Structure 1
Amino acid sequence: MEKNQYKLCLEVLKRLEESGILRDVVLIGSWCISFYKDYFGSVQYPTAIKTRDVDFLVPIPSKAKKKVDIPNLLKDLGFIVNFKGSEGYIQLEHSDLIIEFLVPEKGRSSDKPYQLPQFGLNAQPLRFLDLLILDIIKVKIEGIEINLPHPANFALHKLIIFQRRTKEEKVSKDRNAAVEILMALIAKGEAATIKRVYNTMIPRWQKKVIKGLEEVKEKEILKIFMGI
């Protein structure tokens, strides 16, 4: 990532923390890869990322009690409101970063934005996001406490969604991230954690994980799930 991106991301996180919002949302997406660094400690894994997207997951029902107009909170940093797609999902766009809020899709598939009036914006519902809030870790970045999905949940989620991507660049990015983080967890002695998270998943999701690993021919990781 570029220094300007990192600095801006930290300022966004700082403002969300000071406003009382940050504790009620989970940072997901590629920024997690960089922010997992302290969790893995001496275990080596690639932390470089290349993305403008900063995604926040809002658990439903939201625990947020404070009403904060996020677009206005970040306006002076240069973020402008942009409406994505025909449904009008709100993004906060900057030349360096794009901020978006997401919620787990509930029930029958719907493209309708989920309204978050307490934040002054809406969120896009997406499938499989429930997996990311089952196990949360807290990390401190420059003194700012952030909620992240446990790396095992993050990686297994990536194994599922890379199979749904249409652009090869994103397919490769998600697939590589999943494998690298799972291998780092194994090196850290957390193979049992990976298996535990896998066992909490519904059978349909488990099949997608196995299919993803078979596609990338990662036999060492497959052994964890196949009981070899």
Structure 2
Amino acid sequence: MCVVGVKLLITMLELLPASTQTLYAQLLDEVLGAAYSARGISFITRRVKSGVYWYMQYTIGSSQRSFYLGPDDAPLRERIAATRAMWEADAPSAKERARLVAMLTAGGAVGLPASHSRVLEALEQAGVFMVGGVLIGSHSYALMANALGVRWPVDLAHDNAFHVAIPDKKVDLEVALSEADKGFFAVPALNPREPSTTFKIRGSELSVSLLTPMHGKTDSRAKKIFSLNAMASPMRFLDFILEDTQPAVLPYRHGVLVNIPSPARFALHKLVVSQRRPAAFAVKARKDILQAQEVLGLLAEERPGDILLAMEAVQKMPSKFRAQLNQGMSQLDAKILEKLSGYMEPLP
């Protein structure tokens, strides 16, 4: 257990202009019905002695990879043609979304560095969020600001490590993509040559870690996520935030659609995580509590019902979760605890 031995002061949050909040809602509505970005993706053929074969070629930064699709035949050509047609039909909408992104940025909406944004765009193209993947950690906290209409303290939203939680359920990615009119192919960008749960972004300090809920006895062995053909690290109590999620849009290029936890569950989970970190990670534990404090302080004023619903869900969690939540709550600033009185009380 990691204990942060100081009380933490709440900061004054900067509210986004009402016009910016309206633009955000409009962009989110647009990306929900849009095809995935075709950026960096192309289809090529290669001829060998046995015939002609199709590949998807994918470029991100200076890295280029090719993925085998199958032999040249009518059904595959039709799928490729349909995907290209979808991208072409989406072009006018993409221009409008790009305009909204520019207006959002000018209006003070929270964004991410370009290198970070490109990683999330690549994860979207890979279908990670289509199979139920949820962005957690500091990047989720950063994007949550736009949904809540505020700007967080900058230092609390910075991290070079992306964390994505994947539900342990079977999803046919290609079927999910086609049924949602998102396309017919997903870039297998997470396929490692060797089993790994963390993927380094070549030429940078960025990394992506895949996590999945841990059930039953403690077992830290990586689990296969068949829908993505990737491995994920089990994490205790992750199901608490996966049970209540919402879409969010990153204002980058034409808008990048991701999933994030509900703000209230995100904050409560952060308090629990702060107590589960080893003592050597006290700095991260302090950041967990600060992020939870900012979110809870805002919700107590604007959306207290969200806290009540999240606390109802807490009652169904194991006693260890509730005990660690109580410990995390005890480290919140007294002013925040006063705001939360009546909505969030220690549980037995």
TM-score by length of 1: 0.81
1:1-228 counterparts in 2 under 5 A? 6-24=113-131, 25-41=133-149, 43=150, 45-48=152-155, 49-66=157-174, 68-71=187-190, 89-94=196-201, 95-142=204-251, 143-166=255-278, 167-188=281-302, 190-201=303-314, 202=317, 204=319, 205-218=321-334, 219-220=337-338, 221-226=340-345
Q: 1:39 to 1:47 in 2, by over 3 A?
A: farther
Distance in 2 (alpha carbons) for counterparts of 1:58 and 1:223: 33
Q: 1:151 to 1:34 in 2, by over 3 A?
A: same
Question: Equivalent residue of 1:123, what SS?
Answer: strand
Which consecutive residues of structure 1, in runs of 5 or more, have no partner in the other structure? 73-80
* Equivalenced residues, count: 209
Which consecutive residues of structure 2, in runs of 5 or more, have no partner in the other structure? 1-111, 175-185
Distance in 2 (alpha carbons) for counterparts of 1:69 and 1:120: 8
Cα deviation, residue 51, structure 1:
1.3
Structure 1 stretches of 4+ moved >4 Å: none
The code of the aligned residue for 2:120 comes to: L
Q: 1:139 to 1:184 in 2, by over 3 A?
A: same
TM-score by length of 2: 0.55
Structure of greater Rg:
2
Residue pair 1:116, 1:123 contacting (<8 A) in 2 also: yes
Q: 1:215 to 1:13 in 2, by over 3 A?
A: closer
1:99-153 deviation digits (Å, cap 9, x = unpaired): 0111000111101110124424210000010111121111111211111001101
Distance in 2 (alpha carbons) for counterparts of 1:93 and 1:13: 13
Give the RMSD, CA atoms, in angstroms.
2.4
Q: Which has the higher contact order (CA 8 A, sep 6+)?
A: 2
Q: Which moved more, 1:10-19 or 1:100-109?
A: 10-19
